[in-house]
Structure 1
């Protein structure tokens, strides 16, 4: 509860500071919507030209894409400042976090608010809601509960990868390229049905970089496609659990690597 209260206080102050510039807020939100909308438009062009993709219709792909972008939005709205860890270390800003009476990670995440991330979240929710009916999603109480758990779990999977990569900045001072690679993998493959890719790619995107657990496996369960996935049914149904497990491991790695921080000499 102390962490939650501290985060809400610091994040609230950061949001109020950004809301002083209303026109900039609208423009940045529009930018986030345009960026994510372009990805969906590209998928529509592909399915219009070649028909279904891996046996998934455009409506089903839109539902999958909506889940992926919503999970991404749930992650980046509160944690976008994780990408600025390298800057905080190189400029000496991170040193101040170590002597303040608040969590180090909490202070980093609340240093500023990146408003375009709200556009990502709004786009994901809109696409998900609009695609649910045409895709054949049945909004039963159990399905809705699984959907919520899957969205949060997907956000935690992506967050775990980003946090694990960020933790190595305490030794390397900068590894932004590695975190950019994770973003690229999620953006490039996260909104596609992995059945459309070769076996080696499906295995890599499931067990090496767990992209499949963000949206593909949960979407397969919700759209009654669990039997056609490349994993066992129990693993698909348990996909939301991957997020908390991976995030706990990533946070343990963060704490372990934090002990190796020695400053940049700035």
Structure 2
């Protein structure tokens, strides 16, 4: 199992390097793509800043605390979109029979799909997230211990897996539905909208939905409360908050198994 994972990572890295070389053939487009993505993410943070300028706090969270939450969510978003955002175009690959080629090569179809090209703007998501997170860590003056440092690192990966699991499950539906664009972009909008704010500011029904039905809260909000010492506002056990990264792993394993099961439903369009 470990050797299979290592082989998959090596294959992904080789294909990703090839994709990067292709994008760098058009350096101006590459640079403007990154700058455009950074501007978009900066606009999202500016909205939060505008709200804080009027109300000072959001749900009792100060600007540095909200920047930590925003930085964690955006970094996690970049960690999944950089290697795997090509899941968003699976509809095209299925309808145009591009997926046929994936099934005849000695590489996992999932790996081939996510490395079909390098999405330039996702680099800006990761860079922007790391920059915001760095500023937040410098201004929140947290008391760092080894468990908290480990939690932060694992939470970023776990948050990426939470969002990736949702997109992977929807990608599996493409083998049946052929058109899942509305579902994919709706899920992306939900994470980009609700993931930037403390879940506590929403009503009980919404908090339950964002923790249980669509466990978005585990992507950044729940581990952020642990780092900031705000676990008293959670309605889940503190031990589960510390285990937030494991939730992401469990969700992705389940989503990938679902994707594999739906792959058996694939029928070539014959183009």
Structure 2-normalised TM-score?
Answer: 0.96
Query: Do the aligned partners of 1:173 and 1:264 also contact (CA within 8 Å) in 2?
Result: no
Q: Could you tell me how far 1:139 is from its partner in structure 2?
A: 3.2
Instruction: Name the counterpart of 2:79.
Output: 74
Q: Could you tell me how far 1:23 is from its partner in structure 2?
A: 1.2
Runs (4+) of structure 1 exceeding 4 A deviation are none
Alignment of 1:141 onto 2:146: yes
> Please, which of 212, 215, 229 is the counterpart of residue 210 of structure 1?
215
Stretches of structure 2 that go unaligned for 5 or more consecutive residues are 1-5
Instruction: Name the counterpart of 1:160.
Output: 165
Alignment of 1:109 onto 2:114: yes
**Separation in 1, partners of 2:140, 2:258:** 39
**Separation in 2, partners of 1:162, 1:14:** 21
> Please, which of 203, 209, 217 is the counterpart of residue 198 of structure 1?
203
Q: Could you tell me how far 1:156 is from its partner in structure 2?
A: 0.3
Structure 1-normalised TM-score?
Answer: 0.97
**Separation in 2, partners of 1:217, 1:231:** 9
**Separation in 2, partners of 1:137, 1:203:** 28
Stretches of structure 1 that go unaligned for 5 or more consecutive residues are none
Q: Could you tell me how far 1:141 is from its partner in structure 2?
A: 2.6
Query: What do you get for the CA RMSD once the two structures are aligned?
Result: 1.0
Q: What is the 5 A alignment of 1:62-101?
A: 62-101=67-106
**Separation in 2, partners of 1:216, 1:136:** 18
> Please, which of 29, 51, 54 is the counterpart of residue 24 of structure 1?
29
**Separation in 1, partners of 2:21, 2:249:** 30
**Separation in 2, partners of 1:241, 1:34:** 32
Alignment of 1:230 onto 2:252: no
* SS of residue in 2 equivalent to 1:99: coil
Q: Could you tell me how far 1:137 is from its partner in structure 2?
A: 2.4
**Separation in 2, partners of 1:101, 1:234:** 42
How many residue pairs match? The answer is 266
Instruction: Name the counterpart of 2:45.
Output: 40
CA offset digits 1:20-52 (Å, max 9, x no partner): 111111101111111111111000111111121
Query: Do the aligned partners of 1:218 and 1:239 also contact (CA within 8 Å) in 2?
Result: yes
Instruction: Name the counterpart of 2:3.
Output: none
Alignment of 1:169 onto 2:187: no
* SS of residue in 2 equivalent to 1:84: helix
